[in-house]
Structure 1
């Protein structure tokens, strides 16, 4: 759980996370991907170019209806796979100001929230891919988030799950 004191000097981490998304053309990034063990991630907002910073996220309810779609990950560059997840979720989280929010997410937003939450729980999408459905796309240009964090001068903590 992220406490308010954990967010006092969060500026450099948020900057590195945003740069990571831009440099990698990623859709979301979690603090642990940059070596920072906080329950915090960024994901796209409805306005193009904007991001939501999500603190202490939780899924309150998930639909029984499932959807399968392709996912990739900055932590597993060069691969993509088919992942089945709930089509919609009711989520709770806090803003950087400590305000608690609840939202209903569907489609891509629901998938992205679940994917990033998995990172906070020490799980990668590859654990959800059925055997034979992980595809090598290594000819695509990719950069690991931890590399961007180091380039930004952040101390990178190797987190073991």
Structure 2
């Protein structure tokens, strides 16, 4: 796809009536804390937002992906691929509106919104508490692809068990 075509489709993802507000919000929000705190807030915001939408029962990976994509289609927020790997379940979220809505500078913290949404959906499906969903790696495809990974978290050894 040409760069011009990609830009056109990217700009269709966020209603023009909200762009000025969201960019101003983003600038002010980013000035209020460090990236870790901003990500934590966006993660919690995503969890709250997720409770508004049902993704079904997740009885299979195909059903899970279809349920997620039903919500993303309703919101015009791109689409997700659910990929099973050896030690994790990967969610590849394509064509997100986050860059257009909050600006490229917000790509350090804004993807935590999707992380929170996916986390809440997995929790609602009865996810094992030893599993955790986190963003994997950097933002890809010029802010249009985010990768999240659901996997067992290794516990940090306590002070007394470290060698």
TM interval, short-chain normalised: under 0.3
| Structure with the bigger percentage of strand | 1
TM-score (norm 1): 0.25
| Structure with the bigger percentage of helix | 2
